[in-house]
């Protein structure tokens, strides 16, 4: 348990920092597509792990997937050290006053950044940045909506084998094959989002004479949520009515597809609203996703056993339907809420 806590604590770095890196490296018109690519890997990762692990444990010792995961992390660290650079660049400082970058090794271990620490936030300011971002109404509402809708994705993922093993007589290999469903759904969501998010933004800009508002990103959420709701309702029907496993697969895919579109739209909206808080916004959205799913996994199975999957998943769909009101409120009043809440006024951007 201690090892899992350590793993969870440090593995959130890549999840929570994604928007920050994208904001630092890409122009505004490129960011939605880059978020789409990054989010697809984040959403897909919890499904790829069980997929490969199921095949490994069919013929190998249970510890083998953990060693594979260990090797993948080593490879990732080696690639970061070999090819990636520090992305942070304070554009409020004139180019001739920028701090010395130091050599490659100094940047990797952080000594170069430490020498120029007087140009950045103090420890107290850094802590307050995180709090002040959540105090902005649109960020808080976005996180509540995300927790209420994405939580069921984690719940289904962690309890899937408990549902499908007795219902369909699946063994580890069959469960592994079943995990191809969300992987394909995420890939389709990424392909759809590749043009959808930019198309909605460009259409708004054309019809408003070059003017852009972040709330236009939320239109994609409105388009995706009916798919999410239908997917959840039908998953419950599949389990309780013992429909064919192919029907269950399609319904699960519908839900994951919709959540993939929603994840990108919500991330883009928060980043466009507060670009100077890209790291903090990314961290809070990641927090909402993981905490919601963590809580649901504790009662998902008992809930289904007590009320039946038709009713329990139907209620989950109803919660997602009710959560759309947060998005409607942001589309209508989001700009006024941003103006009312005022700027963040960070020491550095």
pLDDT (0 to 100) of residue 122: 85
- Residue 251: pLDDT over 90: yes
The conformation of residue 232, written as its DSSP 8-state character, comes to H
pLDDT (0 to 100) of residue 147: 94
CA distance 145 to 334: 14
CA angle, residues 264, 266, 271, in degrees to nearest 5: 95
Half-sphere exposure of 322 (CA within 13 A, CB side): 9
pLDDT (0 to 100) of residue 171: 83
Using CA atoms, how far residue 255 sits from 32, 190, 275, in Å, is: 21, 14, 29
Half-sphere exposure of 336 (CA within 13 A, CB side): 5
Q: Does domain 10-84+121-341 have CATH number 1.20.1250.20?
A: yes
Write the pLDDT tens digit of every residue in 190-205: 999 988 999 999 999 9
- Among 43, 13, 10, 20, CA closest to 270: 20
Place of tokens 């309890």: 159
pLDDT (0 to 100) of residue 285: 94
End-to-end CA distance of the chain: 38
* Residue 90, helix vs strand vs coil: coil
CA distance 109 to 280: 23
Write the pLDDT tens digit of every residue in 284-337: 999 998 888 888 888 888 888 888 889 999 999 999 999 999 999 999 999 999
Average pLDDT over residues 163-190: 89
Write the pLDDT tens digit of every residue in 81-124: 999 888 888 888 888 888 888 888 888 888 888 888 888 888 89
**Phi-psi label, residue 127: left if phi above 0, alpha if psi -120 to 50, beta otherwise:** alpha
């Amino acid at each position: 348990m201690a090892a899992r806590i350590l793993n969870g604590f440090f593995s959130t770095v890549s999840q929570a920092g994604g928007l920050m890196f994208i904001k630092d490296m890409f122009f505004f018109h490129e960011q939605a597509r880059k978020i789409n690519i990054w989010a697809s890997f984040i959403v897909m990762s919890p499904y790829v792990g069980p997929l490969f692990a199921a095949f490994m444990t069919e013929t190998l010792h249970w510890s083998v997937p953990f060693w594979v995961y260990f090797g993948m992390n080593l490879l990732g660290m080696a690639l970061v050290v070999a090819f990636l650079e520090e992305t942070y660049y304070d554009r409020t400082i004139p180019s001739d006053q920028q701090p010395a970058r130091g050599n490659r090794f100094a940047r990797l271990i952080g000594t170069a950044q430490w020498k120029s620490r007087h140009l950045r936030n103090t420890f107290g300011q850094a802590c307050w940045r995180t709090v002040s971002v959540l105090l902005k109404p649109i960020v808080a509402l976005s996180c509540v909506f995300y927790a209420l809708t994405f939580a069921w994705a984690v719940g289904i993922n962690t309890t899937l084998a408990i549902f499908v093993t007795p219902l369909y007589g699946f063994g580890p290999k069959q469960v592994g094959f079943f995990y191809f469903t969300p992987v394909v759904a995420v890939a389709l969501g990424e392909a759809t989002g590749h043009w959808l998010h930019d198309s909605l933004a460009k259409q708004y800009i054309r019809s408003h004479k070059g003017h852009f508002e972040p709330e236009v990103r939320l239109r994609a959420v409105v388009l995706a949520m009916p798919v999410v709701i239908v997917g959840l309702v039908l998953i419950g029907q599949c389990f309780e009515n013992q429909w064919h496993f192919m029907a269950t697969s399609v319904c699960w895919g519908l839900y994951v597809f919709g959540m993939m579109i929603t994840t990108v739209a919500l991330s883009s909206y928060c980043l466009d609203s507060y670009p100077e808080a890209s790291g903090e916004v990314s961290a809070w959205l990641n927090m909402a996703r993981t905490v919601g799913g963590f809580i649901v996994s504790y009662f998902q199975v008992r809930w289904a056993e007590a009320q039946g999957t038709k009713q329990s998943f139907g209620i989950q769909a109803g919660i997602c339907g009710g959560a759309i009101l947060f998005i409607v409120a942001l589309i209508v009043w989001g700009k006024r809420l941003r103006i009312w809440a005022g700027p963040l006024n960070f020491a550095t951007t």
